[in-house]
Amino acid sequence: MINLETPRKFRAFVNQAHQVAAEMLRPNSRQYDLAEHAYPKELDMLAAMVDGLGASGTGSGAGASGVRRTEAADDDGKVKNGSNLSSVLSIMEMCWGDVGLLLSMPRQGLGNSAIASVASDEQLRRFEGFWAGMAITEPGCGSDSAGIRTTARLDGDHYVIDGEKIFVTAGGRCDAVVVWATLDRSLGRAAIKSFVVFKDTPGMTVERLEHKLGIRSSDTATIRFENCRVPAENLLGSAEIDADKGFAGVMQTFDNTRPLVAAMAVGCARASLEVTRELLADAGVEIDYDRPVHLQTAAAASYLQMEADWEAAYLLTLQAAWLADNSQPNSLQASMAKAKAGRVGNDITLRCVELAGSLGYSEHHLLEKWARDSKILDIFEGTQQIQQLIVARRLLGKTSAELK
């Protein structure tokens, strides 16, 4: 049975993550939001510290641990609190500090989660220590990952990749990108595989960095692949095309990263709630948990509703991570967590701006920045609409062909 308390073995690590967020991320938040595309040099020291915690066994990084389905629950039947739960808890704390700076941390990219989730043991050792971005989205393919047009053609002991990827987080700074490509367009989803492509590979070009509404401290790149030759051993997982489960290995990445994105939204929303409560208290607005909502001020009633929505998102996120740690299917819960947290996170941060009035809209506080940052958390790793569609398919037992 899931325990909703933070596991004792994670408490020190979570406290450390909060301390880092309070003393390093939040104080630098506004600086790197204004200096878009400038690399936050302070993160080098932080990344080294996170690597040290992971090596010592006292921490699991900020999201690069991955869902390892080969890990089974303990033979004695005891529940397991592992790297997935540790990651979402630490991400909540870090994004309480700043979402964009978390996404800018070396060796903690979404591509690292993809490698950790589906790579073989040999690949895990070979790619250890590299910073990997994730290259999925294309100009004509967004949330429908099955519509990928980038191709990978086997030529001897290399795959030749051709195509274009957009909105690659950390695409300009990372050491490598995990590229999703199809081995045969005519075979649909089953032929989609992921490849680790290092930045110095001939034929791979970073075309430009995007200017964005939020997470401005994180670079977002467009990358082109033209006759880009990648060693065959850089294909993650099996090269075999299986019509029944060929796409499942790639989609397993999402079972990991969607709870991580949900955790980002939960952390960012919590920051907004805390600051807004302080501002309401300064304005004389009392939030009384012992009185019915209809007997309180409109501002207090709105705040209580936001807290309830936040609590639901938080619990769904914990559930998705806990299931993964205990080798139970979590695709439904991962999408539910991502859908709920992405929506309410964006809703909460915007409503906090409204409740704070001119203070919320100005740069006196970070409320307006958190509202801008939170929007992407409802979009990337599968939009709100796609998550709801996935949830509906799971609950109704429909395939993607039966329910579009």
CA distance 128 to 395: 38
Task: Establish how many alpha carbons lie within 13 A of residue 354's alpha carbon, considering only the half-sphere containing its beta carbon.
Answer: 12
Q: Which residues contact residue 279 at a Cβ distance below 8 angstroms, ignoring those fewer than 6 apart? A: 355, 356, 359, 360, 365
* The one catalytic residue among 93, 138, 164, 381: 381
Q: Are 166 and 222 in contact (CB under 8 A)?
A: yes
With b meaning 16 or more CB within 10 Å and e meaning fewer, what string describes 72-87? eeeeeeeebbbbbbbb
Q: Return the C-alpha torsion angle 208, 210, 215, 217, nearest 10.
A: 40
Burial class of 400 by CB neighbour count within 10 A (0 to 12, 13 to 18, 19+): middle
- Longest CA span, the chain: 73
Q: Are 360 and 353 in contact (CB under 8 A)?
A: yes
Query: Cα 312 to chain center, whole Å?
Result: 18
Is 311 a known active-site residue? no
SS3 for 348?
helix
SS3 for 35?
coil
Look up tokens 């700043």; give the residue. 98
Residues belonging to the active site: 381
